[in-house]
């Protein structure tokens, strides 16, 4: 597709269950980012990938959060043993990787609700 | 850590009025970006600024990269109802590719 695609668009899960969120970046974009947006808040950086490696994981809130990227394309964000405070919109973005000339392009996000 | 202070937090204006919002930081940024987010969608890039002092326009939007590299503003002229949304500033420092976002400015336009 032409843009960043995220799935599912909505996910409701019970506390304690694991969830996987998927991101398909724009074709040819080498950099991929995950952000979290809580209700009425700004975007909180989680992790970014350059190719398949993650130079910066500093934003992951706890060891229950992990992410991987394969083939320099699709990425999955996994949250284990979900908690209610994990409820938020998880946004993925991609860029060409030349940070100073290629801004981030965002998907529409996955809205996660933990009950 | 690095933070961006965005103001105002919200604005309610009459159609046709001009709007101004800004972001400040105690840290230096190499790139400033302005995004708009509509409900249920991801942020969409409006303007990108790459040089200190740079003034860039995109239609009715004008943004500037502060000369100190610690601030940026966004102006919207002659607002229309479709300008409604949340506007975010974002800054990029160093070469990490990690954007820092402001808290957002919610804009409402009364027809």
How does pLDDT run across B71-110, given as a tens digit for each residue? 999 999 999 999 999 999 999 876 666 788 999 999 999 9
What is the percent of chain B with per-residue pLDDT over 70, rounded to a whole number?
A: 95
Nearest CA-CA partner of B77 in B35, B24, B21: B21
- Is the minimum CB–CB distance between A110 and chain B shorter than 8 Å? no
pLDDT for B10 equals 95
pLDDT score at A78 = 98
Helical ranges in A1-115 per DSSP H? none
Do B106 and B88 contact (CB within 8 A), yes or no? no
Q: Which of A10, A30, A55, A100 to mutate to test the interface with B (most CBs of B within 10 A)?
A: A100
Residue of B20 and B50 predicted with greater confidence? B20
Q: Which of A41, A56, A95 sits opposite B103 (nearest CB)?
A: A41
Interval B27-39 mean pLDDT: 92
Kind of pairing between the strands at B105-110 and B10-14:
parallel
Neighbours of A18 (CB within 10 A): 11
Dig out the tokens for B66 from the structure. Answer: 């502060």
Which candidate from A55, A100, A106 shows the least CB-CB separation from B31? A100
Q: Which of A23-27, A31-35, A75-79, A98-102 has the lowest mean pLDDT?
A: A98-102
How far apart are the C-alpha atoms of B55 and B66, rounded to whole Å? 9
Q: Given CB atoms, is A48 within the 8 Å cutoff of chain B? A: yes
The pLDDT tens digits of the residues spanning A38-68 come to: 887 789 989 989 899 988 888 899 999 999 9
Instruction: Find out whether B28 and B93 touch, Cβ atoms under 8 Å.
Output: yes
φ/ψ of A92, rounded to 5, equals -115, 145
Position B22 pLDDT exceeds 90: yes
pLDDT in tens, A16-26: 999 999 999 99
Distance CA B65, CA B82 (A): 25
Confidence category of residue A99, pLDDT binned at 50, 70, 90 = low
Helices (H), B1-111: none
Chain B residues touching residue A43 (CB < 8 angstroms)? 43, 88, 90, 99, 101
Tokens of B40: 């249920």
């Amino acid at each position: 597709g032409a843009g960043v695609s995220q799935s599912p668009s909505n996910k409701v899960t019970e506390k304690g269950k694991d969830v996987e969120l998927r991101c398909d970046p724009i074709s040819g974009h080498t950099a991929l980012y995950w952000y979290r947006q809580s209700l009425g808040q700004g975007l909180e950086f989680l992790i970014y990938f350059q190719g398949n490696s993650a130079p910066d994981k500093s934003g992951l809130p706890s060891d229950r959060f992990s992410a991987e990227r394969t083939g320099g394309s699709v990425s999955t964000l996994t949250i284990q043993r979900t908690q209610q405070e994990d409820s938020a919109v998880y946004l993925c973005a991609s860029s060409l990787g030349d940070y100073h000339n290629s801004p981030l392009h965002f998907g529409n996000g996955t809205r996660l609700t933990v009950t | 850590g690095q933070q961006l202070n965005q103001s105002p937090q919200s604005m309610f204006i009459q159609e046709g009025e001009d709007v101004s919002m800004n972001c400040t930081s105690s840290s230096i940024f190499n790139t400033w970006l302005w995004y708009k987010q509509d409900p249920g969608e991801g942020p969409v890039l409006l303007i990108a600024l790459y040089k200190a002092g740079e003034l860039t326009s995109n239609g009715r939007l004008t943004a500037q990269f502060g000369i100190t590299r610690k601030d940026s503003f966004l102006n919207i002229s002659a607002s229309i109802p479709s300008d409604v949304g949340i506007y975010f500033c974002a800054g990029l420092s160093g070469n990490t590719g990690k954007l820092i976002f402001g808290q957002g400015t919610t804009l409402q336009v009364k027809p």
